[in-house]
Structure 1
């Protein structure tokens, strides 16, 4: 591709977009030429050794979104991932910056951020989550525009000590603490810096706080289906040598994964009847000739009991993370969630409908016994509940009662431990599949060194 041809087309499009204010003013000719510019950018990536990213992009549907508060972004739809471009921001970038931004979005997809960020939004602000996702991948990308955040800029802006190569979950926790401290010191309000835009008005600047918000529109997708989609995209793009950091993510995608407690819970949702509702579309079974009587249909609700072994090593923070996952899973279902804290006896039982209602666990010194929880469920006739029992697994060998409820999911919180019960009356899973791990999405350690060298050589 001739550089002059690309630059000429870019300049022409930039002049045009600079003189319009609303999306409906864009002509079809502009749209066609803009997509041609994206093609030229893609061909340039192929010729410069970035074949994986070019082949990945070719598989994505591309659309314009001029109210997008950044140059581009991605969203999962029923047809797959779509990459959205805002020409008003994108055309301000050089060719190398455009390529870097495309890589940035593909790193989001490969890292599973569209899935992983959902649970974090129950705990942290949009800004903290957005910054955490971006700096966790921007460490591995050179030539990003100056307005894109990196570890150094976040360190300086929020006065927070951040190390390289942490997970997005770890960054979110540290950044939120820094944001809360700054707001407390400055007595700022969350909404003070937000701006309202007229509908249809073109946005021309990057806004880190809101750039990923549109990911959560139409989010009724199966996580495993999304992972399979990403895996297929990566397989089709992985012809030839892969960047070292992408190769790590590619191996992660291809690693065979067992069914987690979250996956198992999702399979059970919507199958647990809780009472009945009247309907005019079904006649009463006992008196079908009586047209004045309404029939009944089962009312489905997610009834969940979460038992927490407070004699074990589960911390308050881990309880919060666990419950964030539970609330994320049941968000689209009518739900009834009961928290049961138990060691050798039931210590506290309470209801919770959101993460803010989760209480710090009661501190006791009792041993672990499983039977009291099963007795509580039987005594209170919680037959339709799914029991999720978080424990280190070290309790009785036999339950003192036969369970009366429908399903039990044992989640072991201690690595290497086994459930002490000879008969579990349910499925046994490991918490390690859902806990935040130090290197859950581990990139190649040399990638950062390469980034630093390229970064300094560009000056």
Structure 2
């Protein structure tokens, strides 16, 4: 190996030892030297680097550069742009990733854009905060998963169309990077055909396939880092949020309700009067479900109605008895409300939210009543005061927002 390759290998090794979550993600990206790239770049398949730029970095800065590209991929930035302006989206992605890496103790290169005001925000939240004309400085890296004209790379036709409008994609990337060695594409060639050209943009199908792959890589990396005891709280929340966003809360809720309310056969020994032969008999288990609504005002009436509508549709196919609670800092007057399996689940009245959010009253009511529900489902933004101890029954938190929960199963509302 030459000096640059040795430096890159050492940076990967150090990440694996010190930051196993980030290191595991970096290992998923093959490294490839590229003269068309000013610093580093990725298309969610390969990590491209300019050897001259790597030469001028410290060991810590190389670790930052590698982790930066891997985190873009793990968070699916290449598949989340939609119809947003490419330049603004690329900036928003960098503003989202860089503070995370700084908080993890990595050293950013001079080219890295780090703004504290965007700390803890997702790229979608940062995007509208960026002015349309914002071109204040170069980004550290190149995001080459999209076409130069924006959107997906739909194949040869779109690439040729982009070339017909002026500069080729390779020339535009090189011009943006400020490089002096422009890669020209001749007649009949497309960007990515030559050894020293950028890769072609991803198609919509390729983005979806890579998105699923990186979701699996993210889950494995988080699990291994947890087992090693080296997954920080920030990265754990980041991984949980990224994975939860891909799962439909409706599907998870339906799956859970089908488990607690079911018709099944039992082989329990019958009464002697029924004879000596044991025949399987059908037993119906009606689920006893408690549902709590956060009415503090942070969750809108429409949100509550939509949630109850979905739950009502699921309940119609399952024998579930529901006890409905409404709570902000205290339980709402007139509650709780009881709904048998054949009753329509609906809001008993309009609630005027106010005050803070305290979750304890719901748990205290269940304890006083001596109830043992199959589950408690709490619809909330999870921004409030929790009980000190988890109850001895399952709790599902349907969370609108980013706040964590201290116990139970957290399901992110899309």
What interval of TM-score do these two structures reach, taking the shorter chain for normalisation?
0.3 to 0.5
Q: TM-score, normalized by length of structure 1?
A: 0.38
TM-score after normalising by structure 2: 0.42
Higher RCO by CA contacts (8 Å cutoff, separation 6 or greater): 1
